[in-house]
Amino acid sequence: MSKPVKGFSKLTKEEKINWLADHYFSDKKNGIALLMQYWNEDAKLQQLHDEFIENTITNFYLPLGVAPNFLINGKMHTIPMAIEESSVVAAASRAAKFWLKRGGFKTFVKGTEKIGQVHFLYEGDKTKLNTFFETIKPLLFSKTTDITRNMAKRGGGITNIELRDKTEALDNYFQLHCTFNTLDAMGANFINSCLEQFARCLKDEASQYDLFTDGEKDIQIVMSILSNYVPDCTAVAEVRCKIDDLDEDKELAPHAFAEKFVRAVAIAKAEPFRAVTHNKGIMNGVDAVVLATGNDFRAVEAGVHAFASRKGSYSSLSDAWIEGDEFVFNIELPLALGTVGGLTKLHPLVKLSLEILDNPSAEELMQIVAVAGLAQNFAAVRSLITTGIQKGHMKMHLMNILNQLDATPEEKAHFTAFFKDRTVTHSDVIREFYAYRENMIK
């Protein structure tokens, strides 16, 4: 067991690694060599990665793949995806190919409003607080001019500030609920800077407000922070086609396919246990594109799952229905994304991923990400109602199992062919692998 360490962040990279090796590695030499194996040979590029976070010891790689053939609003896209799960890129690509022949994906942005809040405590007359807020509201805008000037020149900035009474939820709790348009930036730093200025102005002006008693003048600022819940910053993606065109699955006739698909999505809308896994599949596609484009997938995840619960029960993010002789499948997702700032100008692969997407605006990226989520969901539900999820998933997982077994290139080729028309299970692969090796030895 190691002892607490003081000043760890001040150690050099090599000193940090040596400390880890001394306290945690069972094989110090090989452990250090493994860390160094993942360093970039280009020292400048490695330094760039080292400075993304604190206490960097190496790089943790994820595969970056692409899913081609996405027709979105009449324009072809190849979508970059950073993810470790074996079947995701393949599933997205299959869905893209399926809908390419049926008119592609249609998308639009419903809104781009982002939210931040100043949380504070006030003990006093609520009527006076309301009057005070209306008095200082113009000042809140003017005090942030230095922060908002450049954003405002491009058409963005602060769109509104409201005083909200939250005392039913918590004694003496109020908030400034603020909305923003941050254009092509995700805008976290911009929003938080504005909020902190609002908080200073609120407290300073309250201390001098003549209508407040001494106790009322002491407004207690708790915190100022953006919200990752953005229900009015959403993108919608949809596919639709004639039911008769749903004719690629041998297991089900087109009308039976459509009805079973709609029923499967309805179950995810009604049953939270199913909805969680249903939405996880959507986020396989969403997170992979969000990560590839240098955006914050944790923030997106948090906001999306809150959105899925907005009606009081956790439910499917996607919907499907039959409209006359057409099958319709759509999704609406809250997506606070940026294409400028942050990693978009720092990480070389993020810049390249955005270039693959033809350097989209934030609104365009929102729509692309929504499409990735819808495509992933279509592929998953389609598998579930036809062949089952494991057939395709385990086919893609086969190579992972073979790598765990240290299979040779010849063995990989053999078992890829062997399982071409068979259902892959972990136990079957293990059994057949060792039987094959034993037979080869004989």
**What residue segments make up the domains of the chain, in order of their start?**
8-50, 64-109+233-387, 114-227, 393-441
What is the structure's pLDDT at 341? 87
What is the structure's pLDDT at 393? 56
Catalytic, out of 85, 125, 259, 319? 85
Q: State the distance between the two ends of the chain, measured CA to CA, in whole angstroms.
A: 48
pLDDT over threshold 70, residue 177: yes
Residue 280 known to be catalytic: yes
Distance of CA 195 to the CA centre of its chain: 24
**Sorting pLDDT into bands at 50, 70 and 90, what band is 292?**
very high
Residue 393 known to be catalytic: yes
Least confident residue range of 268-282, 296-310, 423-437: 423-437
pLDDT over threshold 80, residue 12: yes
Q: Which residues contact 32 (CB under 8 A, 6 or more apart)?
A: 17, 18, 21, 25
Range 18-42 average pLDDT:
95
Distances (CA, A) of 87 to 97, 115, 121, 388: 15, 35, 50, 14
Q: Which two tokens stand for residue 70?
A: 């996405």
Comparison of pLDDT for 102 and 393, the residue scoring more: 102
pLDDT over threshold 90, residue 326: yes
Catalytic, out of 196, 205, 287, 296? 296
Range 174-178 average pLDDT:
98
Which of 171, 174, 191 is CA-nearest to residue 133?
174
Residue tagged 């360093």 (tokens): 39
Range 185-201 average pLDDT:
97
What is the structure's pLDDT at 191? 98
Comparison of pLDDT for 88 and 421, the residue scoring more: 88
Range 284-288 average pLDDT:
98
Q: Please give the class, per CATH, of domain 64-109+233-387.
A: alpha beta
Mean pLDDT score across all residues of the chain: 94
Range 346-354 average pLDDT:
95
Least confident residue range of 136-145, 213-222, 262-271, 341-350: 341-350
What is the structure's pLDDT at 305? 98
- Neighbour count for residue 92 (Cβ, 10 Å): 31
pLDDT over threshold 70, residue 227: yes
Range 183-196 average pLDDT:
96
CATH topology agreement for domains 64-109+233-387 and 114-227? no
Comparison of pLDDT for 141 and 399, the residue scoring more: 141
Q: What is the pLDDT of residues 94-127, one digit of tens each?
A: 999 999 999 999 999 999 999 999 999 999 999 9
Comparison of pLDDT for 143 and 419, the residue scoring more: 143
**Sorting pLDDT into bands at 50, 70 and 90, what band is 396?**
low
Q: Please give the single-letter amino acid code of residue 77.
A: H
What is the structure's pLDDT at 434? 82
- Neighbour count for residue 430 (Cβ, 10 Å): 13
Helical pair 362-385 and 272-292, crossing angle rounded to 10 deg:
140
pLDDT over threshold 60, residue 192: yes
> What does the alpha-carbon distance between residue 34 and residue 40 come to, in Å, rounded to a whole number?
13
pLDDT over threshold 80, residue 392: no
Q: What is the pLDDT of residues 362-377, one digit of tens each?
A: 999 999 999 999 999 9
> What does the alpha-carbon distance between residue 62 and residue 199 come to, in Å, rounded to a whole number?
40
Catalytic, out of 280, 351, 412, 414? 280
What is the structure's pLDDT at 389? 61
Three-class DSSP labels, the chain: CCCCCCCHHHCCHHHHHHHHHHHHCCCHHHHHHHHHHCCCCCHHHHHHHHCCCCCCCCCCCCCEEEEEEEEECCEEEEEEEECCCCCHHHHHHHHHHHHHCCCCEEEEECCCCEEEEEEEECCCCHHHHHHHHHHHHHHHHHCCHHHHHHHHHCCCEEEEEEEEECCCCCCCEEEEEEEEECCCECCHHHHHHHHHHHHHHHHHHHHCCCCCCHHHHCCEEEEEEEECCCCCCEEEEEEEEEHHHCCCCCCCCHHHHHHHHHHHHHHHHHCHHHHHHHHHHHHHHHHHHHHHCCCCHHHHHHHHHHHHCCCCCCCCCEEEEEECCEEEEEEEEECCCCCECHHHHCCHHHHHHHHHCCCCCHHHHHHHHHHHHHHHHHHHHHHHHCCCHHHHHHHHHHHHHHHHCCCCHHHHHHHHHHCCCCCCCHHHHHHHHHHHHHHHHC
> What does the alpha-carbon distance between residue 141 and residue 151 come to, in Å, rounded to a whole number?
13
**Sorting pLDDT into bands at 50, 70 and 90, what band is 390?**
low
Which of 181, 341, 323 is CA-nearest to residue 241?
323
Least confident residue range of 39-48, 56-65, 425-434: 425-434
Architecture of domain 114-227: 2-Layer Sandwich (3.30)
> What does the alpha-carbon distance between residue 103 and residue 222 come to, in Å, rounded to a whole number?
51
